[in-house]
Structure 1
Amino acid sequence: MTGDVAVLGAGMHPWGKWGRDFTEYGTAAARAALEDAGLEWSAVQSVVGANTLRCGYPGQVAGATFARALGWQGAKVTSVYAACASGARAIDTARAQILSGMADTVLVVGADAAPKGFFAPAGGERPDDPDWLRFRVLGATNPAYFGLWARRRMAVYGDTPEDFARVKVKNAAAGALNRYARYRSPVTAEDVAASAVVADPLRLLDICATSDGAAALVLGSMETARRRGARRPVRIRAVSSVSPRYPRTALDLPDIATDSAPTAGPGPDPFRPSIARAAYEEAGLGPEDLSLAEVYDLSTALELEWYEDLGLCGAGEGAKLLREGVTALGGRIPVNPSGGLASFGEAVPAQAIAQVCELTWQLRGTAGDRQVAEARAGITANQGLFGHGSSVIAVC
């Protein structure tokens, strides 16, 4: 069953390093979303929590954890895990419940309290997990992986470290306008160049931090939105969550990475472009219909890759789009007007939900100084460990 569901409310807890329990962040975001929707907690029929493996058992049953924190009132509880795509899978689960008639109003919550430093695979040794093998066998932490992508772009397309720095400068300028962002200071290209090298050619300011934070949405049927007087509610038009396609070798060797670069000729199905393609097909829209995009800028170089994967430009043209100001606030298709992960950092189960919060505020026209003019449609994009990818399209 397909169809639109309405965003009745959106809320966030500011991101940072607060040193408190993730439940506190999630309940604050949930209450903000309920207030935005004009609903009492007692009116919510279902809660879908995006899980975090780093926060013990409560993090692995996030739906019930947040329902308990808000006060048991009989709502259905569901918990979802899909690495960095967890928030989008939670949104899709809520949408399915609404469209099937199982629930009329659903609260979606994601929150995390992330450790300082590089993310390491949670849960001990996992020799059947390709990403655990990447860490253990190759010693390739996420920044090392991002550096390989950056090097590939430099070799294949002629991108430069100065192009990567431009992404940080753009996103920091937007993040400075966002009260929920962790980093709210403008950054110059000279600041990026002066920061420490982490994984050549990427420097510290090219790579996003790990953060505490939370985001929440209240979703409802279109009939509920109309009944509550919403004339043009923001609508979730599509949710894509796809996995890669890889050929298996005769020796059945493990895939060390869970996404793939675009290929010329026979080979794996390019993972990241397929994430967006599935969303476009479901929504009946294309890149030309978009007003803005929120993408997963784990590193500055990866943001440029997303421009191409979303079809905003051709392969190898991402840096040109950036240089021309097309993806900046005031440009034809602003990317990461929220400030992106460059300004927020990673709070894994919350980030895909936070992206949809930003689409909601932009499509409502309530984003303040970072407002995208005449915003009518937006897309999000994420990729995550062990083959999880997601994209959400919202329209008004």
Structure 2
Amino acid sequence: MTAEVAVLGAGMHPWGKWGRSFVEYGVAAARAALADAGLEWREVGSVVGADTVRGGYPGYVAGATFAKALGWQGARVASVYAACASGAQAVAAARAQILAGLADVVLVVGADAAPKGFFRPAGGDRPDDPDWLRFRVLGATNPTYFGLYARRRMAVHGDTPEDFAEVKVKNSAMGALNPHARYRKRVTADEVAASAVVADPLRLLDICATSDGGAALVLSSMEFARRRGVAAPVRIRAVSTVTPTYPNTVLDLPDIATDSAAVVEPAERTFRASIAHAAYQEAGIGPEDLSLAEVYDLSTALELQWYEDLGLCGEGEGAKLLREGATAPGGRIPVNMSGGLASFGEAVPAQAIAQVCELTWQLRGDAGPRQVEHARVGITANQGLFGHGSAVVAVR
């Protein structure tokens, strides 16, 4: 309990393709979060910015960039980068500052203005980066990689393209209800099947887009929340930012033999499963305690994998869980009630923060038509570049 911090405010700039600076999106999200918290900008003691590599120099010092845009007032600043896990790393840094007594109130902000098309590795040649190697040596863009992953699930677990399509159907129905989502239209399984093949078996509607957008949170110490009369705030109870464990250091796929595996005891769980395990362990909960989850659905097939990695079902049972309706509204464990990346697209440094925004609104009972009844515990999950884990547990 001593490691908890309060979430006093959550705010977002709607996702889309707006053609403006990431700074504008981040400032709009920050102001929305401050208004939600009922706080003035001058009351913020620290700003932690999630960096974007596409925003030029200001993107590399996002904390200072947002502090300047909001108006210099002496706040501490920090900037973090972990690609898709940047937002969770920013939450972790903010929580550490609060628990260390360095600030009572911390503003966490992430925003991006993403290019059209496939993401390319930024920063020149990176021969020690497996993602760079995948792009450069194999020519495997992200959609190609997603397609290989989906094909593996079909071969190993018996998943079908129809299963993948149902993930999109579920998430698009929620995105249609979310005013912050980019795509606000329900999609049918037939429409998924009729969309263009991008990387067999995945079609255009199986894969998330790239987007502009921003998200922000106002975090505080529990004592500050009580002083401000917030008796029962949403609380962040755990943040997992783990890395892989040797010898099971393949970042995505389980059950891949290596020479070292023959002589070294293999790790107990895959990397993504270890992300969730660390969060559960810190929070003192298990998957059976969850009310909902927000997961990183770069592709429809990947959402099914997260079901298993979060322990919502056994290995290979993700599609079965989906077919049973367990992850849909009213199900045992609703997943991606925000609409997920299927409805938002990737605004990379903002997305892990946006996941916590959704948990906050759900746990407060403020999610409107997307509301999960009696929501008390939620988890987010995604994976950043080159071994950055990311999971946040929030409770009410």
Bin for the TM-score computed over the shorter chain: over 0.9
Instruction: Summarize the alignment of residues 154-173 of structure 1 with structure 2, pairs less than 5 Å apart.
Output: 154-173=154-173
Tell me how far apart the structure 1 counterparts of residues 380 and 210 of structure 2 sit (CA, whole Å): 20
Instruction: Summarize the alignment of residues 62-141 of structure 1 with structure 2, pairs less than 5 Å apart.
Output: 62-141=62-141
Q: Give the superposition deviation at 1:260.
A: 3.1
Tell me how far apart the structure 1 counterparts of residues 159 and 331 of structure 2 sit (CA, whole Å): 21
1:115 partner SS: coil
TM-score by length of 1: 0.96
Tell me how far apart the structure 1 counterparts of residues 151 and 183 of structure 2 sit (CA, whole Å): 27
Distance change (3 Å), C-alpha of 1:140 and 1:2: farther
Q: Give the superposition deviation at 1:2.
A: 5.7
Q: Give the superposition deviation at 1:229.
A: 1.1
Residues 130 and 258, structure 1, Cα contact 8 Å, conserved in 2 = no
Tell me how far apart the structure 2 counterparts of residues 357 and 364 of structure 1 sit (CA, whole Å): 11
Tell me how far apart the structure 2 counterparts of residues 344 and 129 of structure 1 sit (CA, whole Å): 27
Q: Give the superposition deviation at 1:243.
A: 1.1
Please list the CA deviations of residues 109-137 of structure 1 after superposition, one character each: whole Å capped at 9, or x if unmatched.
00000000111111111112121011000
Tell me how far apart the structure 2 counterparts of residues 55 and 48 of structure 1 sit (CA, whole Å): 16
Instruction: Summarize the alignment of residues 45-56 of structure 1 with structure 2, pairs less than 5 Å apart.
Output: 45-56=45-56
Q: Give the superposition deviation at 1:245.
A: 2.5
Question: Any gaps of 5 or more consecutive residues in structure 1?
Answer: 249-254
Tell me the residue number matched to 1:228: 228
Tell me the residue number matched to 2:388: 388
Q: Give the superposition deviation at 1:263.
A: 6.0
Residues 263 and 270, structure 1, Cα contact 8 Å, conserved in 2 = no
Tell me the residue number matched to 1:251: none
2:238 partner SS: strand
Tell me how far apart the structure 1 counterparts of residues 29 and 336 of structure 2 sit (CA, whole Å): 21
Tell me the residue number matched to 1:217: 217
Tell me the residue number matched to 1:320: 320
Give the aligned residue type for 1:258: L
TM-score by length of 2: 0.96
Please list the CA deviations of residues 48-96 of structure 1 after superposition, one character each: whole Å capped at 9, or x if unmatched.
0000011110000000000000000000010000111100000000000
- Provide the alpha-carbon RMSD of the alignment: 1.5
Tell me how far apart the structure 1 counterparts of residues 12 and 198 of structure 2 sit (CA, whole Å): 30
Tell me if 1:260 matches 2:253: yes
2:373 partner SS: coil
Tell me the residue number matched to 1:59: 59
Give the aligned residue type for 1:325: G
Please list the CA deviations of residues 214-241 of structure 1 after superposition, one character each: whole Å capped at 9, or x if unmatched.
0000000001111111121000000000
Tell me how far apart the structure 2 counterparts of residues 245 and 208 of structure 1 sit (CA, whole Å): 29
Tell me if 1:9 matches 2:9: yes
Question: Any gaps of 5 or more consecutive residues in structure 2?
Answer: none
Q: Give the superposition deviation at 1:259.
A: 2.9
Please list the CA deviations of residues 293-323 of structure 1 after superposition, one character each: whole Å capped at 9, or x if unmatched.
0000000000000000000000111101101
Instruction: Summarize the alignment of residues 245-394 of structure 1 with structure 2, pairs less than 5 Å apart.
Output: 245-247=245-247, 258-262=251-255, 267=266, 269-394=269-394
1:243 partner SS: coil
Residues 259 and 387, structure 1, Cα contact 8 Å, conserved in 2 = no
2:356 partner SS: helix
2:386 partner SS: helix
Residues 260 and 272, structure 1, Cα contact 8 Å, conserved in 2 = no
